[in-house]
Amino acid sequence: MRFRPCIDIHNGAVKQIVGGSLKDKNDQAVENYKAEQGADYFAHLYRRDGLKGGHIILLNPPSSEYYEKTREQAMKALAAYPGGLQIGGGITDENAEVYLEAGASHVIVTSYVFRDGEIRWENMDKLCRAVGREHVVIDLSCRRKDGGYYIVTNRWQTFTQVRLTRKILEEIAGYCDEFLVHGVDVEGKASGIEEELVKLLGSYAKIPTTYAGGIGSLDDLKHFRKISGGKLDYTIGSALDLFGGNIPYQAVKHPITEN
């Protein structure tokens, strides 16, 4: 169990947002925090502290007027910490190699492999052929519906028909090196973790899996360890003091071990 840092970029700036509030129309989102520093500042910080495997997420679609500014920030972060960060947002088999060449260790993919509500196994294959399974992270971010968790795409706005289960985790694991999973309903709210989701992910955990969403205090983090069995990595965004929250970055930047 280790801390995975994040750099979320929206409208050309590093931000923390309420995940469920993100809308492509007019590039809207409820903001918890907007950084004065650029994305490369945070990348340098994570590099200095030896934190690997964090993720950069582009929160604007390519159709947005802000997309190029957002992408520019992302590329600066990759250049500041080559090999240390993953990147997601609009990744396909056609552009994935560009980001690896720019310094990303992995590309994070959702919408390209979940199209029209279904898993597109042919696109999983294309992605693996393009950059190698060892460079792929599949984003299984999900929201609760009908008593389960369903994978959501298009910056968490669109439900798929794919319910997250151990069977689905098993099948998709053959196409990637890691999973990244946001509990979107609690993302950015620092209101506590999605316990059932964490238990599901912890019960599988055959490949590295990072959970994000709802960790709002060090007590929440202890509870997360207990519920997950210490088998999952975690990310903290809005609740971290780097982004205006109360959890000290200094307290989480190194792997947590039991006393």
Q: Which residue has the tokens 């520093």?
A: 37
pTM higher than 0.85 for the full model? yes
The model's pLDDT over 13-40, given as tens digits with 9 standing for 90+, comes to 998 876 556 566 666 666 678 889 999 9
The model's pLDDT over 146-205, given as tens digits with 9 standing for 90+, comes to 999 999 987 677 899 999 999 999 999 999 999 999 998 877 566 689 999 999 999 998
Question: 141 and 181 in contact (C-beta within 8 Å)?
Answer: yes
CA 26 to chain centre: 23
Q: Is the pLDDT of residue 256 over 60?
A: no
The model's pLDDT over 106-158, given as tens digits with 9 standing for 90+, comes to 999 999 999 989 999 999 999 999 999 999 999 999 999 999 999 998 767 78
CA distance linking residue 87 with residue 15, whole number of Å: 15
The domains of the chain are located at 6-252
Angle at 126 between CA 51 and CA 102, to 5 degrees: 40
Mean pLDDT within 84-98: 96
Identify which of 243, 236, 245 has the alpha carbon closest to the alpha carbon of residue 1: 236
Q: Match domain 6-252 to its CATH number in 3.20.20.70, 3.40.190.10, 3.90.180.10, 3.20.20.10.
A: 3.20.20.70
